[in-house]
């Protein structure tokens, strides 16, 4: 597998660590499929990396995610790796046109929906699904299963922590449902990366990312290399499905609730119900 070019779909590939990982994997000879929100940025990254397969979708609109899934299904009969990398932290609470809180929709419901619509392709390929999570799940989350959107007691940090916890729970739910059918699903923290992250919020993290402290953060190149390591088929056998990893690829601790099988199952059930999904 390691010597055969793989089809690798990367969301959030127009900037930051996604752009770096896409460029490096394409340079290694893999078939990289880039997904981004901004046409200008996405196509600019693709041109520079020599990547021909580019798709656009704004995850604040779930109809665009459904369209994206249809395009990907039509064009790529095999998907070896799906990187659910798109996300961000936002001021709010903000209700999207779909009726969900923006932070939760962009970071969790959109990739949950995309993965659902691609699940047969992923199972046929015995694929790897990689969710870009965050240490914020441990630092800031305060999960309320009756308020997955974090409408109440909203702060940008708490909403982001809850949304990134959702990505960890999602990878563990995929493991519960599909590991026996050959699917591997993991989540990881890419490091505290010096990007445009949090630039449009009131979160205290804005001052970490956009002041003199920025010099102490991981560069986008380093963060992108971390993401590339997880996506690279050469390392596929290094990953244990359902595991949360640190930037160096070591199994890591997150909030204890992420290991609660009842919570994993209930979060999966409620996320599916929000979107009207039935999994095969």
Q: Kindly list the catalytic residues.
A: 160
Bridge partners, 131 (sequence order): 84, 187
Q: Quick one: how far is CA 266 from the chain centroid?
A: 20
As a whole number of angstroms, the distance between CA 190 and CA 171 comes to: 16
The answer, yes or no, to whether the previous bond of 93 is cis (omega within 30 of 0) is yes
Contact between 173 and 112 (Cβ < 8 Å): no
Q: Name the DSSP class of 251.
A: B
Cα Dmax for the chain: 49
Surface-to-core class of residue 217, CB atoms within 10 Å of its CB (0-12 exposed, 13-18 middle, 19+ buried): middle
Q: Give the whole-angstrom CA distance, residue 221 versus residue 200.
A: 22
Give the DSSP letter string of 188-251.
E----B-SSTTTTS--THHHHHSSGGGGGSBPHHHHHHHHHHHH-GGGGGGPPTT-EE-TTS-B
């Amino acid at each position: 597998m390691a010597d055969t070019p793989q089809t690798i779909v990367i969301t959030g590939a127009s900037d930051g660590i996604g752009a770096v990982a896409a460029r490096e994997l394409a340079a290694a000879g893999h078939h990289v499929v880039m997904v981004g929100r901004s046409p200008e940025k996405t196509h600019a990254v693709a041109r520079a990396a020599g990547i021909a397969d580019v798709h656009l979708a704004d995850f604040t609109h779930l109809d665009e995610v459904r369209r994206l899934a249809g395009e990907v299904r039509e064009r790529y009969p095999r998907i070896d790796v799906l990187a659910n990398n798109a996300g961000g932290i936002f001021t709010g609470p903000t209700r999207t046109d779909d009726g969900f809180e923006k932070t939760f929709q962009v970071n969790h419901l959109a990739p949950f929906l995309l993965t659902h619509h691609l699940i047969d392709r992923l199972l046929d390929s015995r694929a790897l699904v990689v969710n870009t999570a965050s240490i914020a799940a441990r630092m800031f989350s305060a999960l309320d299963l009756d308020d997955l959107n974090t409408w109440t007691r909203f702060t940008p940090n708490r909403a982001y922590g809850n949304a990134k916890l959702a990505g960890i729970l999602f990878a563990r739910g995929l493991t519960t449902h599909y590991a026996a059918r050959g699917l591997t699903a993991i989540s990881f923290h890419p490091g505290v990366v010096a990007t445009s992250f949090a630039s449009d919020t009131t979160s205290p993290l804005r001052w970490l990312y956009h002041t003199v402290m920025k010099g102490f953060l991981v560069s986008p190149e380093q963060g992108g290399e971390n993401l590339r390591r997880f996506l690279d088929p050469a390392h596929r056998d290094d990953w244990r499905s359902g595991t949360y990893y640190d930037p160096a690829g070591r199994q890591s601790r997150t909030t204890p609730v992420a290991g609660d099988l009842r919570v994993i199952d209930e979060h999966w059930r409620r996320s599916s119900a929000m979107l009207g999904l039935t999994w095969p």
